[in-house]
Amino acid sequence: MIETVLDILSWALLCLGGAFVLIGGIGALRLPGFYTRLHAASLTDTMATILVFSGLILQAGFSLASLKLIAIMLFLLLTGPTASYALANAALQSGMEPDADRLGGKASGGAG
Amino acid sequence: MIIVFGLFLLSLLVITALAIVRTENLFVAVMLTSIFSLLMAANFFILDAADVALTEAAVGAGITTVIFLGALALTAEREKPSSAGWRFPLLVVAVLATLIIYATFDKPRLGDPEAPVHQHLAPWYLEKTPEYMDFPNVVTAVLGSFRGYDTLGEVFVVFVACIGVLFILGVKPQAGAEPEIEDRAGLRHHLIPQVVGRILIPFIILFGLYVQFHGEYGPGGGFQAGALIATGVILYALLEGEAAALRAVPRPVLLALVVGGATLYGGVGVACILLGGNFLDYSVLSADPVVGQQMGILLIEAGVGMAVCGALLSIFHAFAARRIRL
């Protein structure tokens, strides 16, 4: 009984994580401009890491594999946002301005 | 299910390869090469070759990318327009591809236990490893002991490659301009990458040592460990500047690692001869042949790790020490 519940819970987490990765991918392809794309990819990626690894830990149960999964999750949670920050920072340093006006104009233009 | 994964990864590989050929921006090509290596590592892992996958991920996707970027900083970012025609290369590639595809028709199916490769020496290796070495990872046994000559050759190839790169690029940068560069070097003024990097570096080195000394029991060994430890030091160089990394691990230490690693490997072989065995026959190293084998493999893996780590770091520094052309 408890195994079935755990299985369903872990699969729900895994599927939700996969959905987040998919949304992030669509966002990285569809959004205008560098910073918005980075925003889409990085935030969903962090959320997906937590969800997918929680699902995998539930699958692995109380074992050495779970410990290793937790270690990998911590590593990814540290490095992923750092890499996104470094990327955005490097873009800003090299003179790429976040172009809020153009995005606003485009959105209102689309509405009109 | 595994077939679906394999097909997916292989098609991604083909797409990446085509993208590498088509792009004219060298920076993009370097990044795509890194992705190619990562996909290849996943492929190896699906084929149950965990040791090879680890090597490909650490060397191909990790260090090679950094060295490529270091080389790229010295040259232009865009490919030179080629004046050669495309018809002849296309013909050569088409003929070769047809030949290779024709050759695959004779290949046994994936995982076929009747395949010649599983009939020849592999059963003997699988049977004798527990008897001779008494540890579970057959790959390490094959690499370190059964085919010790091949690995010795590989270490010498790494050694020679390092010497070659140092001969071409290892000119000392002129003194004078260094202090001015050093203050602005690395990501010193970027707090977040620096803090995170400082947290990670000890764990990367620790993981490298784990891979080094756990090679008899899990995937890993000298090649992977050398690359991982070199990655840790290169991360330090990226954060604090190249000069700081050279202060932490100076050039003489790097050269000593390369030379010492190759010498340690060869020396173990010679020691075996002196103790009355054959070259690289570790059984004579101890009274108990099994302990002798384990000792010998541990020693030569340490030699491999030292040589690889030293060579990769020397090559990285050889590129990074050159003045960037502006």
One-letter-per-residue 3-state SS of chain A: CHHHHHHHHHHHHHHHHHHHHHHHHHHHHHCCCHHHHHHHHHHHHHHHHHHHHHHHHHHHCCCHHHHHHHHHHHHHHHHHHHHHHHHHHHHHHCCCCCCHHHHHHHHHHHHC
**In a domain? residue B158:** yes
Residue B275 lies in a domain: yes
Mean pLDDT of chain B: 85
Which residues in chain B touch residue A82, judged by CB atoms under 8 angstroms apart? 192-193, 196
Residue B183: pLDDT over 80: no
Evaluate whether residue B283 is within a structural domain.
yes
Alpha-carbon radius of gyration of chain A: 18
Whether A112 shows a pLDDT value over 50: the answer reads no
Residue B20 lies in a domain: no
The answer on pLDDT for B179 being more than 60 is no
CB within 8 Å: A86 and B199: no
Domain hosting B297: range is 142-173+182-326
Number of domains making up chain B:
1
Mean pLDDT of B145-161: 90
Amino acid at residue number A48: A
Domain ranges of chain A: 2-98
Contacts of residue B196 in chain A, CB cutoff 8 Å? Answer: 78-79, 82
Q: Which of A80-94, B102-116, B174-188 has the highest mean pLDDT?
A: A80-94
pLDDT for res A108: 43
The complex scores an ipTM of 0.78
Percent of chain B with pLDDT over 70: 93
pLDDT of residue B31: 93
User: Which chain B residues are within 8 Å of A86, Cβ to Cβ?
Assistant: 187, 190, 192-193
pTM of the model: 0.83
Nearest CA in chain A to B195: A82
Q: How far apart are CA A42 and CA A24, in angstroms?
A: 8
Question: Does residue B2 form part of some domain?
Answer: no
Is residue B88 domain-resident?
no
Give me the total of CB pairs closer than 8 Å, taking one residue from chain A and one from chain B.
17
Which among A78, A86, A89 is the nearest to B199, CB-wise? A78
The CA-CA-CA angle for residues B47, B45, B55, to 5°, reads 120
Q: What is the pLDDT of residue A8?
A: 92
Residue B108: pLDDT band with limits 50, 70, 90: confident
Collect all residues of chain A within an 8 Å Cβ-Cβ radius of residue B200: 75, 78-79
- The answer to whether residue B192 is domain-embedded is yes
Q: Measuring CA to CA, which residue among B148, B145, B150, B158 is closest to residue B262?
A: B158
Share of chain A above pLDDT 70, in %: 88
CB B241 within 8 A of CB B186: yes
Each residue's pLDDT tens digit, B226-253: 999 999 999 998 888 888 888 888 888 9
